[in-house]
Amino acid sequence: MINLETPKKFKAIVHSAQQAAENVFRPISRKYDLAEHAYPKELDVFAAAMDGMNAGDKANAAGAGKLSQAAKAGDGVRNGANMQSVLGLEALCWGDVGLALSLPRNGLGNAAIAAVANDEQLERFDGKWAAMAITEPGCGSDSAAIQATAKKDGDHYVLNGEKIYVTSGKRADLVVVWASLDRKVGRAAIKSFVVEWGTPGMELVRLDHKLGIRASDTAHIVLSDCRVPAENLLGSPEVDTKKGFGGVMQTFDNTRPVVAAMAVGVARAALERTRELLDEPGDYDRPRWQQNAAAAELLALEADWEAARLLTLQAAWMADNSQPNSKEASMAKAKAGRVANAVTLRCVELVGTAGYCEDELLEKWARDSKILDIFEGTQQIQQLVVARRVLELSSSELK
């Protein structure tokens, strides 16, 4: 059964992440918000320390490692790489979401590799920084509508297509590209391929300017007859129309709780700072009807935040214990993304002009939080996934 206390073996990691958020991320947060696309060099030393902390589970800040044999067999209860990831990222994003996304070797593509790669691929790509390229100009939240293609040619696949909004797309060593082996077959033919930067045919078109998470680069990439070794395909090369594209979608079951944890972290930062700015001695110890309106509303926001955090921990715990968590992962992402937006914007309003100026990070957190309700599947997509799971309907039966 899930225990809501932080597991003892992760307490040191969470403490280190919180210290880094306070002493490394916060001091440079505004600097790299203003200097968009500049690489945060200060993160290199911290990233090396993170590598050491994560070495045992082959996990990283953006993804989970493979299940242990004990977890697969259902022997006992395991708190593993998924729980470690969400707890660590919550702490880091209390400091800065964009900087957390900019940590070397901790890209969203690493989550895809960790989720579905075989042992040889895990070893070959170990220590590499991997971005993930899913979204296309004509394909947003509907991943099944991907137009990029991959054609088998001897011992290579030839990739063609266009990818946008690729987080850490320029800085990463590798890009995990989603492409279709046969568009006539539909979603079952969608596979993920690891493409190394420097491979002929993969070109960086531009970096996008953004509302928030400006410390993180967001790339537009084009693939033109890009030849990728066949051994860089993640998962099975077979097209199974009965299974659909569950193999690549398994990535989302790992990354959606991760994004939820980011949202939980930035919302906690906003709540704590707003409480500091509004607090009066003893105000929060009074019954709600005896509190001022701002304090009473802050308590309601804190309750909503707590619900989002618990859903996130549940989804991560289920993944660590080999329990199907697609519904719970989408519930956590939907709830946390919405809560982060609502909390950060309302906190800006509650503190008045202080929340609207660059003297406080509150206005930055409000901007940063918006992406957390969009990437890895929008609010509407999460609700659709949850509805399908609850009603036991397929994607063709409930669109």
Give the residue numbers annotated as catalytic, written as ranges: 376
Give the chain's radius of gyration (CA, Å). 21
* Cα 29 to Cα 272: distance, rounded to the nearest angstrom: 17
Structure tokens at 73: 């067999």
Is the CB of residue 202 less than 8 Å from the CB of residue 223? yes
Q: DSSP secondary-structure letter at 188?
A: G
* Cα 142 to Cα 150: distance, rounded to the nearest angstrom: 19
Report the Cα 216 to chain-centroid distance in Å: 13
Is the CB of residue 230 less than 8 Å from the CB of residue 155? yes
Is the CB of residue 284 less than 8 Å from the CB of residue 271? no
* Cα 398 to Cα 392: distance, rounded to the nearest angstrom: 10
Q: How many CB atoms lie within 10 A of CB 265?
A: 30
Phi, psi of 100, deg, nearest 5: -60, -40
**Pick from 147, 135, 138: nearest CA to 208:** 135
* Cα 390 to Cα 325: distance, rounded to the nearest angstrom: 12
Q: Which residue has the tokens 């990728």?
A: 228
Residue 131: beta bridge partners? Answer: 175
